[in-house]
Amino acid sequence: MEKSALQMARAAYQPKLPKALQGPVQAKEGAATQSVGNQEEIKALFPNTYGMPVVEFVPAESENNKAINVGIILSGGQAPGGHNVVSGLYDGVKSLNKESKLYGFLMGPGGLVDHKYIEFTDEYIDEYRNTGGFDIIGSGRTKLEKESQFESGMEIIRKLGINAIVIIGGDDSNTNACVLAEYYAAKQYGVQVIGCPKTIDGDLKNEQIETSFGFDTACKTYSELIGNIQRDCNSARKYWHFIKVMGRSASHIALECALQCQPNVCLVSEEVEAKQMSLDDVVAYIAKAVADRAADGNNFGTVVIPEGLIEFIPAIKKLIAQLNEVLTDPATGESRVFGSAEEQIDFVLNNITSDNKAVLESLPADVKRQLCLDRDPHGNVQVSLIETEKLLSAMVAKKLGEWKAAGKYNGKFSAQHHFFGYEGRCAAPSNYDADYCYSLGYNASRLISNGKTGYMSVIKNTTAPAAEWIAGGVPITMMMNIERRNGANKPVIRKALVELEGAPFKYFASKREEWAKQTCYVYPGPIQYWGPTEVCDQCTRTLALEQGK
């Protein structure tokens, strides 16, 4: 494999481990746990994996060094650091016993079901240490939820003598991991299942999980790009740049990028919903910032928009919820099939409420069509396909035209559009993510050797130097509640949204009026891998503020 100079230099980097994982460990167990919501329902669904204690690893004089065989799966969208979870797990199982084996199932959970795998070797793993992407074995979005899938997986698990499966994924993938752990426990198959918290969106976190891996690197990558645009913006002084960033279900990325770059406007979906803002309210808010800067002679600026903004506008959220219901076949739980796009649109218009129909009809034709037609693999509206940045800039231009005709605005408005998504998903991991991910993988090996199943690998205290990080595990059922998905009530891991009473948002809110009026841009520059700690090893602003650092 041809390598760049950076890859070759990074290959030599040895990720740091928490002190507790640098030798033999033993598990210190806490009190019994319960789910974050719907306790009785979750307990009934997961009788074999519910109520287990939180685990913390502490140094021991010796540990179980029996050889173990482990399978690993990369599930869902890519996130920087995934390769280090794999290499950390590999090094972890080999440190227990050199006869241990690690198998990678190819292209996501489907690889387990279809028996497609490779056995990792030192040479193979070494090619991918500290690199971005999931290309070491590929990823996929097959959902593990059917008994036939579980049993098919067991065939290859038995053939390879696998003791445990590690699933690296977001909230949906780890919900599947919990279901799989419960099934294998109920059947007494003796196969453990461990999850690892992955998603650049940052919405898989709670009191036990400080951050999901990849969030740090992705935000630093997007912030570099936004900073570059702001430098250009401040140089040409003639464009308003509308920049959409990833984050369908939460605005953590948009908020973190705002904290790093200080744009003129940053929208936070959770605030839009809390304030019951309409689409016109959002447009007026941006237009006012444009007009206020124009009054000072500044006909330029930047607007950061979370990918899922549209879905948080209450009237549109209500519409989307009903669209997800009516376009799901209640008999199968799958998306309904139509003969043509026109037939599908007619079906929608005839099966939604008059209020929702009015909202749908008020939207531009292309947005209306996308809402009616485009579905993701889970049967939901493809919000990411809606070009929110273009929709908002067009509506702002229209609003400013109305204000100009009324003598309320006398500036110039010209827009540029950007969507930063894939650019951040496979970036070379920052030192923070390289260390964090390696620790998550290594830690997973200790959860396995200590006989745990249905647990998430967790590393805490990560604003401190890596040696002071705390390693352990948390039962996945502890994070679950019941939510409405695809027309049915299902057990899922609760997503973490931006907390409007939290320190990161409060800090942002205290500064945004100044940022809106003044040109206060910060230019973060590219991720640094070598140099002073304050440049190279810092966590996100979000995490630092949450921890009071």
DSSP-assigned states of every residue in 81-150? THHHHHHHHHHHHHHH-TT-EEEEETTTHHHHHHT-EEE--HHHHHTTTT--SSTTT--B------HHHH
pLDDT band at 486 (very low <50, low <70, confident <90, very high): low
In this prediction, residue 26 carries a pLDDT of 95
pTM for the structure as a whole: 0.94
Within 13 Å and on the Cβ side, how many CA atoms surround 319? 26
> DSSP for 297-327?
T---EEEEEETTHHHHSHHHHHHHHHHHHHT
Q: Is 301 left (phi over 0), alpha (psi -120 to 50) or beta?
A: left
* Span 532-546, average pLDDT: 95
Contacts of 2 (CB under 8 A, 6+ apart): none
CA dihedral 360, 365, 368, 374 (to 10 degrees): 170
Local confidence band at 377 (pLDDT 50, 70, 90 cut-offs): low
pLDDT at residue 333 greater than cutoff 80: no
Distance CA 273, CA 80 (A): 30
Average pLDDT value for residue range 2-12: 90
In this structure, whether the domain defined by 36-213+429-485 belongs to CATH 3.40.50.450 is answered with: yes
Q: Which residue has the higher pLDDT, 4 or 221?
A: 221
Residue-level pLDDT at 379: 62
Q: Name the one residue in this structure whose structure tokens are 């040479």.
A: 123
Q: In the prediction, which pLDDT does 373 show?
A: 82
- Residue 82 has what pLDDT? 98
pLDDT band at 464 (very low <50, low <70, confident <90, very high): very high
Look at residue 395 and give its three-state secondary structure: helix
Residue 305 binned pLDDT confidence (cut-offs 50, 70, 90): very high
- Residue 239: the pLDDT is 98
Predicted pLDDT of residue 512: 98
Confidence of residue 55 (pLDDT cuts 50, 70, 90): very high
Provide the CATH topology of domain 215-425+501-546. Answer: Rossmann fold (3.40.50)
- CA dist list (Å): 312 to 202, 260, 273: 17, 24, 5
Percent of the chain with pLDDT over 70: 98
Task: Kindly provide the residue ranges of all beta strands, DSSP E only, lying in 19-78, ordered along the sequence.
Answer: 25-29, 55-59, 69-74
pLDDT for the residue numbered 374: 72
Average pLDDT over residues 305-314: 94
- The pLDDT of residue 376 is above 80: no
Question: Rounded to whole angstroms, how far apart are CA atoms 160 and 157?
Answer: 5
Instruction: Count the neighbouring beta carbons within 10 Å of the beta carbon of residue 482.
Output: 16
Fold matches, 36-213+429-485 and 215-425+501-546 = yes
pLDDT of residue 421: 94
Residue 1: pLDDT above 80? no
- The number of residues in the chain equals 549
Residue 543 pLDDT more than 70? yes
Residue 380 has pLDDT above 80, yes or no: no
Phi, psi values for residue 364, rounded to 5°: -55, 150
Residues designated catalytic: 201
Q: Is the pLDDT of residue 149 over 90?
A: yes
Q: Name residue 528's amino acid.
A: Q
Where are the domains positioned within the chain? 36-213+429-485, 215-425+501-546
Does residue 365 register a pLDDT over 90? no
User: Does residue 378 register a pLDDT over 80?
Assistant: no
pLDDT band at residue 336 under the 50/70/90 scheme: confident
CB 256 within 8 A of CB 269: no
- State the pLDDT at residue 145: 86
What pLDDT does 328 receive?
Answer: 84
How many helices (H) does the chain have, and how many strands (E)? 22, 15
Token readout for 4 is 């760049």
Give residues with Cβ within 8 angstroms of 530, minimum separation 6: 536
Q: What does the pLDDT average to over 483-505?
A: 91
* Averaged confidence pLDDT in the chain: 95
